[in-house]
Amino acid sequence: MKHHIAAFAMLTVVAIVGCQRSSEAVWDELPRIKQAPSFVVTNYDGQQLSSEQLRGRPWVASFMFATCQGVCPIMNRHVAELQQQFGDYVRFVSFSVDPETDSLSVLASYAREYGARPDVWYITRTTLDSVRMLSRDGFLLSDPKTPDLHSSRFALVDEQGQIRGYFNSLDTADVARLRQLLAAYVERKRVAVQ
């Protein structure tokens, strides 16, 4: 009987270590593109959000505007699903590219529509110049041919603030890959707690 218990304990340890390695390996494969930009923006609930507050957990950046009828609803449905699935471990930041129209009350209504949790999914605004700089220079998400249009891509930022990848919200394989990476991170965190 002692041998069975010892064997079970050993298998459990091997399984936990194996899961942790595979989760880390998934993230280790990602490039370190660049440091995410520093910023201070205003969340839809009126609270300030700084890039420093996001350190210590991965987060997903996106650019949108509340009156967008094209890609934004698709992007934000994905974010709503990801928030539901990973919100205890991951944060999401949506930057409005139309701060003149997207007042805090407009963004608050938008947040309610998508079920955003204020401590998990930040739907933010800043000045137009600042958001252009964030998109173009900070996250490298502007298209030089259409600089005023926002990207359909998500930027994945790691715990240290490094941009690790871009994922097209219109490509189901890209969204699935993002989901896989977030799941691997959550798995690693859960194993570390055990």
Rounded mean pLDDT for each run of 10 residues along the chain, 194 residues in total: 44 41 69 96 97 96 93 96 96 95 97 96 96 92 64 95 96 96 89 60
What pLDDT score does 23 carry? Answer: 54
What CA–CA distance (Å, rounded) separates 11 from 32? 34
Residue 54 has what pLDDT? 97
pLDDT tens-place string over residues 2-44: 544 444 434 333 344 444 445 566 778 889 999 999 999 999 9
Q: How far apart are the first and last CA of the chain?
A: 25
- Domains of the chain listed by start with CATH number: 31-170 (3.40.30.10)
How high is the pLDDT of residue 36? 97
Q: Which residues contact 54 (CB under 8 A, 6 or more apart)?
A: 91, 93, 157, 161
Residue 108 and residue 45 in contact, taking contact as beta carbons nearer than 8 Å: yes
DSSP letters, 31-89, are: ---EEPPP-EEEETTS-EEEGGGGTTS-EEEEEE-TT--SHHHHHHHHHHHHHHHHTTT
Check residue 6 and give its pLDDT. Answer: 42
pLDDT score recorded for residue 190: 75
Q: What is the pLDDT of residue 149?
A: 63
